[in-house]
Amino acid sequence: MILRHAAPALLGLSMAATSAQALDLNAMNDAEKAEFGAQVREYLLENPEVIIEAINILEERNAVAEAAADKELVAANADELFDDGYSWVGGNPNGDITLVEFMDYRCGYCRRAVPEVTSLLAEDGNIRLVIKEFPILGDASVLSSRFAVATKHVAGDDAYKQVHDALLEFTGEPTEVALRRISDGLGLNSDEIIAAMDSDRVTDEIARTRALAQRMQISGTPSFVLGTEMLRGYLPADQMQQIVNGIRAERG
């Protein structure tokens, strides 16, 4: 796979190494093509570092292109990302930079990201957090998200955050008995929350987030939007802070 992607770059390097004279492969006869191929092979065998150099250049160019494409996606979907009117907002609601997290309660990496995000918000103090319910790991994920969203609708944002945190720590199956135990333990009205789980409002909210994720070309969790940057997977808090600092520096 790597050699296939690097082939155009290798061809250019090989052609430069053979002669300064213009080279037209189509004008070569079979013997000339064979000789040229042998020279290229010999050059690469004697200088294998050229292959690594070409691959590194290609990867850098791809990374730059992908970052630019991601910024365009963020700009095109900014309203739905940062101010959709239904997603839970935490951190500093008046922060100068927004961190959007697409998460799934059954995702191990989402759980690993919790202390990193918590540390970033606490240490910086000026970051707004938006949570996007994006259940993609099966029926258990969907049930957990429905329960969390229903809690928000029935009991408000503070109750949602409590349930959100509890579900990220919960390792069992999200049966009705288990979900009732969570909400009862938090002093919430379990009957109302369970009844609201299958409501059109809950279904619509999750569907809108799925549609947004599809437009953003997000297929895994956790995925983040940090200011204008896409983070496909989580980073340690200090690395996210570096990105935040860079965004602020660009703004002046």
Give DSSP secondary structure letters for 152-178.
HHHH-HHHHHHHHHHHHH--S---HHH
Q: What is the pLDDT of residue 234?
A: 86
One domain for residues 110 and 82: yes
Residue that is last in its domain, among 76, 95, 124: 76
Q: What is the pLDDT of residue 1?
A: 41
211's tokens? 């549609």
Directed axis angle between helix 49-76 and helix 30-46, to 10°?
90
One domain for residues 215 and 90: yes
- In order of 43, 48, 185, 203, 221, the CA distances from 5 in angstroms are 19, 16, 55, 42, 27
Contacts of 23 (CB under 8 A, 6+ apart): 15, 36
> How far from the centroid of its chain's Cα atoms is residue 195's Cα?
32
One domain for residues 48 and 162: no
Q: What is the pLDDT of residue 246?
A: 94
The closest of 23, 49, 50 to 37, measured between CA atoms, is 23
Q: What is the pLDDT of residue 65?
A: 65
101's tokens? 């997290």
Q: What is the pLDDT of residue 69?
A: 81
How far apart CA 108 and CA 168 sit, in angstroms, is: 9
How far apart CA 203 and CA 138 sit, in angstroms, is: 15
Is the pTM value of this prediction over 0.85? no
Per-residue pLDDT in tens (0 to 9) along the chain, 252 residues: 444 444 444 444 444 444 434 567 778 888 888 888 888 888 878 888 877 877 877 777 766 667 778 899 999 999 999 999 999 999 999 999 999 999 999 999 999 999 999 999 999 999 999 999 999 999 999 999 999 999 999 999 999 999 999 999 999 999 999 999 999 999 999 999 999 999 999 999 999 999 999 999 999 999 999 999 999 888 999 999 999 999 999 888
Asked if 133 contacts 167 with a C-beta cutoff of 8 angstroms, the reply is: no
One domain for residues 125 and 20: no
Torsion of CA 108, 111, 112, 116, to 10 degrees: 150
The closest of 45, 18, 20, 51 to 33, measured between CA atoms, is 18
Q: What is the pLDDT of residue 143?
A: 98
One domain for residues 125 and 98: yes
Residue that is last in its domain, among 76, 110, 139: 76
Quick one: DSSP state of residue 96?
A: S
Q: What is the pLDDT of residue 22?
A: 57
One domain for residues 53 and 84: no
One domain for residues 89 and 159: yes
Helix, strand or coil for residue 218?
Answer: coil
226's tokens? 């940090």
Residue that is last in its domain, among 12, 46, 76: 76
Query: Containing domain of residue 220, as a range?
Result: 78-251
Is beta strand 223-226 parallel, antiparallel or unpaired with respect to 229-231? antiparallel
How far apart CA 120 and CA 114 sit, in angstroms, is: 10
Asked if 97 contacts 249 with a C-beta cutoff of 8 angstroms, the reply is: no
The CATH code of the domain that includes 203 is 3.40.30.10
In the chain the beta strands, taken as DSSP E runs, fall at 88-91, 97-103, 127-133, 223-226, 229-231
One domain for residues 56 and 91: no
One domain for residues 26 and 148: no
One domain for residues 197 and 108: yes
Structurally, the chain folds into a number of domains equal to 2
Q: What is the pLDDT of residue 63?
A: 67
One domain for residues 92 and 194: yes
One domain for residues 143 and 30: no
Cβ–Cβ contacts within 10 Å for residue 180, how many? 16
Q: What is the pLDDT of residue 14?
A: 47
